[in-house]
Amino acid sequence: MSRALRHVTFILGLGITALLLLTAAVSLGYTPRDPLEMSMDARLQGPSEAHPLGTDQFGRDLLSRIMVGSETSILVGVIAVGIGMGAGVIFGVLSGYFGGWLDETFMRLMDAVQGFPAILSALLITAVFKPSVVISMVAIGVTFLPVFARLTRASFLELRDREFVVAARALGAGDGALIARHMLPNTVAPLIVQATISFPVAILAEAALSYLGLGTQPPHPSWGLMLREAQAFLGLSPWFAIFPGTAIALTVLGFNLLGDGLRDLLDPKMTS
Amino acid sequence: MAATLLFVSLLVFVVVRVLPGDPAILMLGIDASPETVARLRASMGLDRPLPVQYVEWIGGAIRGNLGRSIQYDVPVAGLIVSRLSVTLPLTLMAAALMVFAAIPLGVYAATRHRRLGDYLTMTLSQLGIAVPAFWAGLLLVLLFSVRLGWFASGGFDGWGQGVGGALKSLLLPAIALGLFQFAVLARTTRSAVLEVLREEYVKTARAKGLSERLVLFRHALRNAMIPVLTVAGVQLGQLMAGSIILESVFYLPGLGRLALGAITSRDLPVVQGVVLFVASVIVVINAAVDVLYGLLDPRIRYE
């Protein structure tokens, strides 16, 4: 533990991440002002005592909106990574356990899915369905599918011939029991590391999709959406574009540092 | 790769033609008269069984026929080609900036391992990875257009107005687009060089009394570049997808704006064509990188 406390990257990442989670938690019950309340007299103001981070084009309090926006980011991050991991693990288990043509087919499918960064899936899906935060979750989640599938598959290929698995099979364990009780628990660690890497990527992607109008819809606050609105007023009110972007960058930085620090601490041999 | 491309086309087809139920109603809206819907269905071939539709669509796509745009009433393939004159140079410019900035910086950081230069480079790359590209674009506009007035805040007059002017309007977007991948590539380069510097043959070269310069450039870099180039190759596809976002920040008439506009006007053939095209390009690049990796590193052989 003392080693962890001396690790600058880890501490910095932990601090920023804790701040974000705290902000999101507080915003559930309290914001300085109503994030949806408009005030035509207070449009596009810079930072002041009444509005520490200024106001947007409808006079809504930016601090409150950024606070509530943190919920959106976290929620989309968690669900998108959950979708990618859940579906990826299923593909990876089937590929790695059964092998053969199933494996070959799934891996080519994963190659194809890699051709669809979040922005392309989102374009495609919003062409057919109305843009919404759910679509951005799915579009972002899909992009994580291949990496989780490949990780799980690699673990399963390695585990398949290990003694404890062979022994369990010899004792009469069925496919289901082998996978769920003996093999899956041994693949959890790399999956968790990958999840910490994917989470900030999801937050960036959500911001980009909302910015393009393919994600969270107004009037609900989302950091990317706020930047979309701010763009029209860049000359009038630069603060409006600066604060939400800072929130995104700080959040992503925090999670990246935390992830790097964790990997360093968990695996002292890795020095990159 | 053929199988992968087949899956790409199937994914696009399923999302656009199968999931929505009736694409004709989707495009025309629910108020459209049944006759209009029927006419569109017939002209797009939507009245035939799905497998037939798929085979016709993909057969056309292979021959370069991606259907007709509803909004512009011209072939989709032609639209894509014309918009590529913005997206492709933007992507390549970002890639060039990324490679020429990231590789020297990564090498520099590796040679200064655990010293100030290394820490500064790594801090810079952490920031590059954290800053969303479109926000970087907005900040560049804020600084160089709104404050300093050196650049236009967006727009593109085309290549007919002179190459210099066109390149100038692509410069800020290319910087914003390349920033993230630059940061990733600098980190990759650094760890690749660090790894190679620990190898026995580098120790041997040093033991022979070669200068550190010669060790680095003659022995270490050549091998370190193998993983770096493959990562850069994969990043090329990512840059192309990312340009869709930057085109919106800078109002550039490229593929991304074409697709976004097509979504607003429910021009399904255009969205379908653009997505199929970009996804296929990415898949082909990834496959080419795999092959290249095998060629560059004789230790890697595919069965």
Q: Do B275 and A120 touch (CB under 8 A)?
A: yes
Which residues in chain A have Cβ-Cβ distances shorter than 8 Å to B243?
A: none
pLDDT in tens, B155-186: 787 787 788 888 888 999 999 999 999 999 99
Distance from C-alpha of A252 to C-alpha of A257, rounded to nearest angstrom: 9
Q: Do B146 and A235 touch (CB under 8 A)?
A: yes
Which residues in chain B have Cβ-Cβ distances shorter than 8 Å to A238?
A: 142, 146
Q: What is the pLDDT of residue A78?
A: 94
pLDDT in tens, A19-70: 999 998 888 888 888 887 777 777 777 788 777 878 877 778 888 888 888 9
Residue of A nearest to B126 (CA): A253
DSSP A94-139: HHHHH-HHHHHHHHHHHHHHTT--HHHHHHHHHHHS---HHHHHHH
Q: Do B3 and A208 touch (CB under 8 A)?
A: no
pLDDT in tens, B239-295: 999 998 999 999 999 999 999 988 888 888 899 999 999 999 999 998 998 888 878
Which residues in chain A have Cβ-Cβ distances shorter than 8 Å to B24?
A: none
Residue B130 has its nearest CB partner, among A234, A238, A253, at A253
Provide the shortest C-alpha distance from residue A185 to chain B (in Å).
31
Residue of A nearest to B248 (CA): A212
Provide the shortest C-alpha distance from residue A171 to chain B (in Å).
35
- Which amino acid would we find at residue B106? G
Q: Output the pTM of the full model.
A: 0.88
Which residues in chain A have Cβ-Cβ distances shorter than 8 Å to B198?
A: none
Q: Do B275 and A238 touch (CB under 8 A)?
A: no
Residue B303 — very low, low, confident or very high, per pLDDT cuts 50/70/90?
very low
| Rg of chain B (C-alpha set) | 24
Q: What is the pLDDT of residue A268?
A: 54
Greatest alpha-carbon span in chain B: 85
**Residue scoring higher pLDDT (A171 or A3):** A171
pLDDT at B42 over 90: no
Q: What percent of chain A has pLDDT over 90?
A: 36
ipTM over 0.90: no
Q: What is the pLDDT of residue A201?
A: 92
Which of A73, A231, A252, A258 is the best mutation test for B, with the most CBs of B within 10 A?
Answer: A231
Give yes or no for A212 touching B (CB within 8 A).
Answer: yes
Which of A91, A212, A214, A217 is the best mutation test for B, with the most CBs of B within 10 A?
Answer: A212
List the one residue out of A40, A67, A38, A74 whose CA is nearest residue A53: A67
